[in-house]
């Protein structure tokens, strides 16, 4: 005997489910939207040296509705590599994808666009970064995996904190300077 309520399952108890009503998620296209690689101190920066290089990585994820059930998700990546006080290279990359998304509840759409879409694009972005840094004369830069769920939570927390600070600054009786 099963404890599962078959009426809670789509198509349970003889109910027919139209496949068109089920959530759908597809990658329609992926591409480099914008790209820049600067190697300002080459060939001097390409010489082997004793100094350890440092690499700063900044990442941002954006999404927007296109038309009908199409959405674009974009990963913006900024990388600056330095050896001592000299810039080795600067890489700026926007890697994007167009996704077909249907029948997804509104409360699930934003996490899908800002977590799952970038997660699917990331391996391709990572390959582009490795190829470009190698072609620029450096060892291939293999980016560590990114926790897009944590990045999303951080963005939500930052937005909520900014909203609270703005509300406090404009509240009656607040210390405003005119």
pLDDT band for 171, please (50, 70, 90 cuts). low
> Which among 7-11, 96-100, 171-175 has the top mean pLDDT?
96-100
Instruction: Answer whether residue 74 is part of any domain.
Output: yes
What's the whole-model pTM score?
0.77
Q: How many CB atoms lie within 10 A of CB 124?
A: 15
Closest by CA to 121, choosing from 56, 36, 62, is 62
Domain region containing 95: 20-140
Instruction: Answer whether residue 1 is part of any domain.
Output: no
pLDDT, position 135: 94
pLDDT band for 156, please (50, 70, 90 cuts). confident
Comparison of pLDDT for 138 and 92, the residue scoring more: 92
Average pLDDT (8-31) is 74
pLDDT band for 166, please (50, 70, 90 cuts). confident
pLDDT, position 124: 97
Instruction: Answer whether residue 156 is part of any domain.
Output: no
Cβ(96)–Cβ(76) below 8 Å: no
Instruction: Answer whether residue 63 is part of any domain.
Output: yes
CB pairs under 8 A, 24+ apart, for 24-28? 24/100, 24/101, 24/102, 24/103, 25/99, 25/100, 25/101, 25/104, 25/112, 25/116, 26/99, 26/100, 26/101, 27/97, 27/98, 27/99, 27/100, 27/120, 28/70, 28/97, 28/98, 28/99, 28/100
| Per-residue pLDDT reduced to its tens digit, 59-93 | 999 999 998 899 999 999 999 999 888 899 999 99
Comparison of pLDDT for 6 and 92, the residue scoring more: 92
Instruction: Answer whether residue 56 is part of any domain.
Output: yes
Instruction: Answer whether residue 64 is part of any domain.
Output: yes
| CATH number, domain with residue 36 | 3.10.420.10
For the chain, what is the domain count? Answer: 1
Instruction: Answer whether residue 168 is part of any domain.
Output: no
Kindly report whether the peptide bond that precedes residue 43 is cis, defined as omega within 30 degrees of 0.
yes
């Amino acid at each position: 005997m099963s404890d599962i309520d078959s009426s809670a399952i789509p198509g349970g108890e003889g109910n027919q489910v139209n496949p068109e009503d089920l959530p759908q998620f597809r990658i329609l296209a992926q591409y480099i939207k914008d790209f820049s690689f600067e190697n300002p101190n080459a060939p001097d920066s390409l010489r082997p040296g004793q100094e350890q290089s440092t690499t700063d990585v900044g990442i941002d994820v954006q999404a927007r509705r296109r038309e009908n059930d199409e959405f674009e998700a974009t990963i913006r990546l900024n990388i600056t590599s330095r050896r001592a006080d000299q810039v080795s290279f600067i890489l700026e990359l926007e890697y994007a994808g167009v996704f077909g998304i249907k029948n997804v509840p509104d409360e699930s759409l934003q996490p899908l666009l800002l977590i799952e879409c970038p997660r699917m694009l990331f391996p391709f972005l990572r390959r582009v970064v490795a190829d470009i840094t190698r072609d620029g004369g450096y060892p291939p830069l293999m980016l560590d995996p990114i926790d897009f769920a944590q990045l999303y939570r951080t963005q939500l927390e930052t937005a909520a904190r900014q909203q609270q600070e703005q509300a406090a600054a404009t509240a009656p009786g607040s210390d405003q300077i005119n």
